[in-house]
Structure 1
Amino acid sequence: MSVALMWEAKAAGDRGADLLAWARAQELPAAPLRRETFRAPGERVLVITWWDAAYDADVPELPEPEAGLVSRPVHRWRFEPVEG
């Protein structure tokens, strides 16, 4: 069984590079099977981590960045693979 966690944040002002650096520097207490970091127009950063765990398992997630770094609360989603 596996689960993918998505973490997406929008940087405050023109701080997209700062938010990207912050997200890339965050270490999790356990290593995921895979971790990818993306950026998009609008100063957005997305991090996806894959875990060998059940959908509702307690797995590490990236924290909320400091208040001045983001323009809104972080969005978080969990996904499970679909067979076929």
Structure 2
Amino acid sequence: MTVTLMWEAAAADGSGDQLLEWAREQHLDGSPERVEYLTAPGDRVLVLSWWDAPYGAKLPELPDPPGDLVRRQVHRWRFVSVSVKP
């Protein structure tokens, strides 16, 4: 089974680049199949990590960034892949 962890943060005004850099510097223990970093308007940063694990497995997640880099609490979700199309 593939479990995807989603981590999304909204940067404080003008801190989008710093938040992305901070997220990319974080180390996830273990061996994710893949990690992808995305950005969106409004200085939002999204990190997706894919793991070969059961849904309820204890998996490493990105921590909360320093408070001066974000304008609200980080959002986290967990998903299970059901289908992949090329």
Q: Give the structure-2-normalised TM-score.
A: 0.93
Amino acid aligned to 1:6 = M
* Paired residue total: 84
**1:17 match:** 17
Q: Map Cα deviations across residues 1-23 of structure 1 (whole Å, 9 max, x no partner).
A: 11000000000111000000000
**1:30 match:** 30
Q: Give the structure-1-normalised TM-score.
A: 0.95
Q: Say what the alpha-carbon RMSD is for the aligned residues.
A: 1.2
In 2, distance between residues paired with 1:77 and 1:28?
A: 16
Map of 1:41-52 to 2, 5 A cutoff? 41-52=41-52
Q: What residue ranges of structure 1 are gaps of 5+ in the alignment? A: none
Provide the secondary structure at the position in 1 that maps to 2:8.
strand
After TM superposition, which residue ranges in structure 1, 4 or more long, deviate above 4 angstroms?
none
**Kindly tell me: are residues 38 and 83 of structure 1, through their superposed partners in 2, closer, same or farther at Cα, counting changes over 3 Å?**
closer
**2:76 match:** 76
1:65 correspondence with 2:65: yes
In 2, distance between residues paired with 1:4 and 1:29?
A: 15
In 2, distance between residues paired with 1:58 and 1:34?
A: 17
Provide the secondary structure at the position in 1 that maps to 2:9.
strand
